[in-house]
Structure 1
Amino acid sequence: MKNILIPTDFSDNAWNALLYGISFFKKTHCTFHIVHINAINTNSSGEAAMYVSPDLLEKTILAESREKLKLLTKKIEQITLNPKHNFKTQAIYGFLTDQLKDEVKEKNIELIIMGTKGATGLKSVSIGSNTGNVITKVPCTLMAVPEDATYESIKEIGFPSDLNLAYDVTILDTIKDIIFLKNSALRLLYISSKGEKLSQNQLKNKNLLLDFFKETECFFHLVSGKKIDESVQCFTESRNLDMLIMVAKNLNFLESILFRPTVERISYHTKVPFLVIHE
């Protein structure tokens, strides 16, 4: 039984992420833990807001959240009766990443599914500050689902890497499980920003990856481009990829793809779901 955590703020974006997860795992026995976290706000100095008594919390904030979760459960029941799926809900008050860390540990969560909003209008992080915080601070594999993404099939998966680090077998097993589950092809992608050749270490890691995935339909692609994020976007669109997989272990490379100081246009990750795997 797979335990999947889905945070919700009851938005259309969060509902779409939930639908995507249900469809993605339609043939898998799962428990979906749907949580609404009433986040503690901070003031301009970075300090937490004033203390809320447990009684007031139960009678107001959490009570309202539980009612919304009941309505959400009824909505789910109207669209799916999959006997392989079980749904549990919970209302929480606290700091988002801290609460998610606790949930992951307590419920043996294997995957978090979150919705991402379009890049238009965002000023700091192109995938959204909440999703970005969870990716970097919560040690759990995360699937980020764009607001307009609909599940059809996962025929082609992109796996960009700078090939500087060797990956743990548990990470590669996770990728292989998805490939076999979805009968997908894997596209290993290396971006050469200056046209340089692979180093001996990079060649070694490339060959290790190709050897590990030799039982699958796996291909290696070397693409030249000055900007990593734009090159990944172009490759994703040209290959019509259905999903991207990245590894949190290589944080600098991950940030070069997902995070931008400013967002000038809607990027590839507003269209294609991506999976960030933690060790």
Structure 2
Amino acid sequence: MKKILFPTDLSVAAERAFIYALHLAKNMEAELITLHVYQKPEVRGGGLPHTLSEFYESYDLDEFENFKDSIPILRNIQQREGFGALSVQHLLKPGRTVETVLKVADEEQVEMIVMGTTGARGLKEIFMGSVAGEVLENANCPVLAIPEKAAFDGEIDDIAFAVNYQDEEVEAFQKVVEICRPFNAKIHCVNVDLSHAEDYRHEMDQFKGKLPAYDNTTFEVIESTDIREGLTRYMETHSVDVLVMVTHKRNFFQELLRYSHAKEMSYHCNMPLLSIPSHILG
């Protein structure tokens, strides 16, 4: 059975993102796994004093109680949205947030990770915005990042796929089709032309010829001096529900110089972003 992983910091923003996860799980006929990761305070040195051991036990118990109290809230959302029959498993794991999310995703062999992009809980200072950005860049499966202000009407009608005519995007398109088909969603293949060169625009026709058949597809080349501005303008004028981008890993020095476009969009776009990691393609 397919699986979708939903990491949650138990915030209100995460509860909103949970609705997306429910809809996707139903339409993809997948089991939904919620995951809350908590971090214990770090202690350096030798063995733990007796009082500190008691503190750790109490800390774990508090985390468990918080998690246990949040499960009925998620179940109520599940019932309210009409997904009472959907299979949902709830996991609580200690560890570093990003590493634990990625580990569980690999262990469970999930088809997708769905998570919110803002929110924090208590002193742990786990901000889902930065966590989501790191997860989408390092996951071994597609990641759907849901901004706190994203408005969801229960339907996914239009998906914009930002393309640069790369061979890996042909395989990524097939993954997009698999997600779109249950929703009968339209796929907008969009290229932002920064050079304003007529020959460059002909590459969209060549790219189109490489793609597998999907009837509900359009192809658009838009001119702009900035990729993010051009995509945002297109999404607003075409009522796009989800933006899809292929994500590339970057080494430390590249990351210092410039974030990937996908990571940048996950921080600044009020629309869900589906990241397809390039390293799982080809």
Do Structure 1 and Structure 2 share a fold, with TM-score over 0.5?
A: yes
**Maintained 8 Å contact 1:229/1:258:** no
Q: Which secondary structure state, in structure 1, belongs to the residue aligned with residue 75 of structure 2?
A: helix
Aligned residues: 254
**Maintained 8 Å contact 2:174/2:212:** no
Q: Which secondary structure state, in structure 2, belongs to the residue aligned with residue 21 of structure 1?
A: helix
TM-superposition CA deviations, 1:141-185 (whole Å, max 9, x none): 11011212224211111011222x212665332111122111011
Q: What is the rounded CA distance, in whole Å, between the counterparts of 1:128 and 1:66 in structure 2?
A: 24
TM-superposition CA deviations, 1:38-73 (whole Å, max 9, x none): 1467xxxxxxx4259696586233322222222222
| Consecutive aligned runs of 4 or more in structure 1 exceeding 6 Å deviation | 250-254
**Maintained 8 Å contact 2:9/2:36:** yes
Give 1:196 deviation, angstroms: 2.0
TM-superposition CA deviations, 1:240-274 (whole Å, max 9, x none): 111111112487998235428xxxxx94x21x211
Q: What is the rounded CA distance, in whole Å, between the counterparts of 1:140 and 1:236 in structure 2?
A: 24
Give 1:222 deviation, angstroms: 0.8
Cα RMSD over matched residues?
3.1
Structure 1: runs of 5 or more not aligned = 42-48, 119-126, 261-265
Matches within 5 A, 1:50-65: 50=43, 59-65=57-63
Q: What is the rounded CA distance, in whole Å, between the counterparts of 1:15 and 1:155 in structure 2?
A: 22
Q: Does 1:96 align with 2:94?
A: no
The aligned residue for residue 129 of structure 1 is: 130
The aligned residue for residue 174 of structure 1 is: 175
Q: What is the rounded CA distance, in whole Å, between the counterparts of 1:215 and 1:62 in structure 2?
A: 50
Q: Which secondary structure state, in structure 2, belongs to the residue aligned with residue 72 of structure 1?
A: helix
Structure 2: runs of 5 or more not aligned = 120-127
Q: Which secondary structure state, in structure 2, belongs to the residue aligned with residue 114 of structure 1?
A: strand
Q: What is the rounded CA distance, in whole Å, between the counterparts of 1:139 and 1:177 in structure 2?
A: 17
Label 1:155 to 1:70 Cα distance change in 2 as closer, same or farther (>3 A).
same
Q: What is the rounded CA distance, in whole Å, between the counterparts of 2:207 and 2:194 in structure 1?
A: 22
The aligned residue for residue 125 of structure 2 is: none
Same amino acid, percent of matched pairs:
20
Return the structure number with greater helix share.
Answer: 2
Q: What is the rounded CA distance, in whole Å, between the counterparts of 1:105 and 1:207 in structure 2?
A: 35
Q: What is the rounded CA distance, in whole Å, between the counterparts of 1:152 and 1:56 in structure 2?
A: 46
Matches within 5 A, 1:196-211: 196-199=197-200, 203=203, 207-211=206-210
Q: What is the rounded CA distance, in whole Å, between the counterparts of 2:27 and 2:67 in structure 1?
A: 25
